[in-house]
Structure 1
């Protein structure tokens, strides 16, 4: 079991999740309501975030299918599995019933990555009325465990869904890296520093 944060592993987590997200998104946003597989996969992944206990036999293919050799096994580094699972579940929640893709395109990310902090800024751009957003970000930072962080992130994803026409996109590769890194005491604070900077300043740290 890994005890310290690995930037190389974080990058591999982001790449692995991004590949899965875009395969689902490409299928789900097709004409005629998307493919049956994509609809079923998103429903399975939302199950845990909706409060129901996940069935590992049902979601195993969604999580472990095509697991790359470049990633440690879940037994070797459980933080990898938690980050992959949580990010895919959050994407499934964000994408639900949306005919446009909510994961930021690779082309757009090259110009300006929509990190989690920057996406949260778009929920309420007026700083005089953003107390609810900042309160949820502070709750994520104060959470005593990973599940607490995810509950706050989930609440913010729901706010993104409910904002205007629901057009806020998110760089899920970046989020996956953050959710891996936040699980390690030696690197946890860097995640919240980055979210705060992107939220308040609007600049992105290159990763």
Structure 2
């Protein structure tokens, strides 16, 4: 079992989960209304986050199909598995009933990666009126465990879904890496430092809302 944060695992995991998300997103947002398979996958992943223990046999094909041989197994690195599962579930909540993709595509990512901190700023760009967002971000940093952080992230993503008429997108490759890194005491603080910097140093937030 891995005891320390691995940048190599984080990078590989981010690319793997992002690829799975875009496979679902490309099918779900098709002009013909999307495929039954993509709608079913999103429903399974949302339901998995609602429960206590994961329903592994329900989400196995969504998570483990084509699991990269360069990624560790669940026994070798449980943090990688938890991060992948949480990222897919958060995406499923974010994408629900949205006809436009909420995962940031490569073209817009080339301009500026929509990290979690930047996306949170878009919920209410005026920080003087964003006490609810700031309170939740502070609560995530203070959460005693990974599940607590994910619950608060879910609440923030729900706010992104209801913020204005636009679609707040997220770079889910970056988010997956954050979810992995946050589980290691020696690297956890770096995630919240990055979220804080991205949240507060984004004066042109409105122009980033797609």
Question: How far apart in 2 are the matches of 1:154 and 1:166?
Answer: 19
1:102-128: CA deviation from partner (whole Å, max 9, x where unpaired): 000011111100000000000000111
Question: How far apart in 1 are the matches of 2:177 and 2:135?
Answer: 23
SS in 2 for 1:164: coil
1:80-99: CA deviation from partner (whole Å, max 9, x where unpaired): 00000000000000000000
Question: How far apart in 1 are the matches of 2:66 and 2:194?
Answer: 30
The alignment status of 1:37 with 2:53, answered yes or no, reads no
TM-score calculated relative to the size of structure 2: 0.94
For 2:149, the equivalent position in structure 1 comes to: 149
For 2:184, the equivalent position in structure 1 comes to: 184
User: Unaligned stretches of 5+ in structure 2?
Assistant: 204-210
For 2:206, the equivalent position in structure 1 comes to: none
Instruction: Point out the more displaced range, 24-33 or 35-44.
Output: 24-33
Instruction: Point out the more displaced range, 52-61 or 7-16.
Output: 52-61
The alignment status of 1:173 with 2:173, answered yes or no, reads yes
TM-score calculated relative to the size of structure 1: 0.95
User: Unaligned stretches of 5+ in structure 1?
Assistant: none
SS in 2 for 1:33: coil
Question: How far apart in 2 are the matches of 1:52 and 1:35?
Answer: 28
Query: Which stretches of structure 1, 4 residues or longer, exceed 6 Å deviation after superposition?
Result: none
For 1:202, the equivalent position in structure 2 comes to: 202
